[in-house]
Amino acid sequence: MTIPAIKIEQVHKSFGKLDALRGVDLQIEQGEFFALLGPNGAGKSTLINILAGLMRPGSGHLSVLGHDVVTDYRKTRRLLGVVPQELVFDPFFNVREMLRFQAGYFGCGPENDPWIDEVLEGLGLTDKAYSNMRSLSGGMKRRALIAQALAHKPPVLVLDEPTAGVDVEVRQMLWAFINRLNKAGTTIILTTHYMEEAQTLCSRVAMLKQGEIVALDSTRNLLNRLQTKQLRLKLQGALPASLLPLKRGESGDYVTLNLAATTEVEYILAELRAANVAVEDLQLIEADLEDVFLDIMGHQP
């Protein structure tokens, strides 16, 4: 059995009276592309900060590739690359200097320079290598932060909301790059607010709510959990009484019905025909991760 990339056991953390983490257990295997989802204040960043050594756990154990993050921190910090949520940078240096220094803190010397070139290239930063961090645009700064986390070539990369405030083009480019890293063997853990990102990229998802993991499964299983598909209809006339139990909601001219199975469409159309209600428009909607998320978090969409 291979050693898990990340193993988190019964981790608690409180700030004063607030219990930010309440006994989190989580195991992430090597090579996974894993998403940590949850509303603001769920404890995602706290968990990442503890993993990275920026905070200490109240109790519990965390390990990276088998090394404890508290007792063996020198090892675990070399194994982790962390992209912080905030756009922070050192205004004194240009991108290349900053990356060399960052790699140097981890004990890498000039032998690491080809890797830095590779990262700059991969993130489209080559022509900004000699620009001061201050002069970069927001999207460029974000890329530079990712480059900084990768400077020492860590096998596990943690990204805390890496695409917040980044335009679509840059976002696509970032994900293409991170996907390549993942294919090459890097374990990726990300937190994000964009559900479609987690859905298209990640093989497994954990959902955090008020310091606890409330769902942990493969993305596919989570999507299957919400079996119901939905049918959106624009009708000429009122919904027949026989179909009212299926009604989920109404917006504008459209009415939304819950489907337990796709075959129910036939029954609904038959009922409408029988009631002489014409269908102007019809859409079949699949559940997405956002629905699952809202369902688990206890909201109604």
Partner 1 sequence: MRGMYTLFKKEIWRFWKVSFQTVAAPVMTALLYLLIFSHALATRLEVYPGVSYTAFLVPGLVMMSLLQNSFANSSSSLIQSKVMGNIVFLLLTPISYLEFFLAFLAASMARGITVGLSVFLVTMFWVHLPLIHPWYILGFALMGSAMMGALGIVAGICTEKFDQLAAFQNFIIMPLTFLAGVFYSIHSLPPLWHQVSRFNPFFYIIDGFRYGFFGQGDVSPALSLSIVAVSFVLISMATLQLLKSGYKLRG
Interface residues with partner 1 (CB under 8 A) are 15, 49, 52-56, 73-75, 77-78, 80, 82, 84, 86, 88-93, 97, 101-102, 104-109, 148
Q: Do 5 and 155 contact (CB within 8 A), yes or no?
A: yes
Query: For residues 98 and 195, which CB has a smaller minimum distance to partner 1 in the complex?
Result: 98
Query: For residues 109 and 298, which CB has a smaller minimum distance to partner 1 in the complex?
Result: 109
Tokens of 176: 């293409």
- Residue 252 CB, shortest distance to partner 1, in Å, is 45
Based on DSSP, count helices (H) and strands (E) in the chain, helices before strands.
Answer: 10, 14
- Residue 183 CB, shortest distance to partner 1, in Å, is 25
- Residue 105 CB, shortest distance to partner 1, in Å, is 4
- Residue 246 CB, shortest distance to partner 1, in Å, is 50
- Residue 94 CB, shortest distance to partner 1, in Å, is 11
Q: Do 157 and 150 contact (CB within 8 A), yes or no?
A: yes
Question: What is the distance between the alpha carbons of residues 43 and 12, in angstroms, rounded to a whole number?
Answer: 10
From residue 151, how far is each of 35, 92, 132, 226, 238 by CA, in Å? 22, 18, 17, 41, 62
Question: What is the distance between the alpha carbons of residues 279 and 12, in angstroms, rounded to a whole number?
Answer: 54
Query: For residues 45 and 182, which CB has a smaller minimum distance to partner 1 in the complex?
Result: 45
- Residue 152 CB, shortest distance to partner 1, in Å, is 8
Tokens of 54: 């920026």
Query: For residues 67 and 234, which CB has a smaller minimum distance to partner 1 in the complex?
Result: 67
Q: Do 191 and 36 contact (CB within 8 A), yes or no?
A: yes
Query: For residues 77 and 128, which CB has a smaller minimum distance to partner 1 in the complex?
Result: 77
Question: What is the distance between the alpha carbons of residues 17 and 130, in angstroms, rounded to a whole number?
Answer: 47
Query: For residues 73 and 175, which CB has a smaller minimum distance to partner 1 in the complex?
Result: 73
Residue 194 corresponds to which amino acid? Y
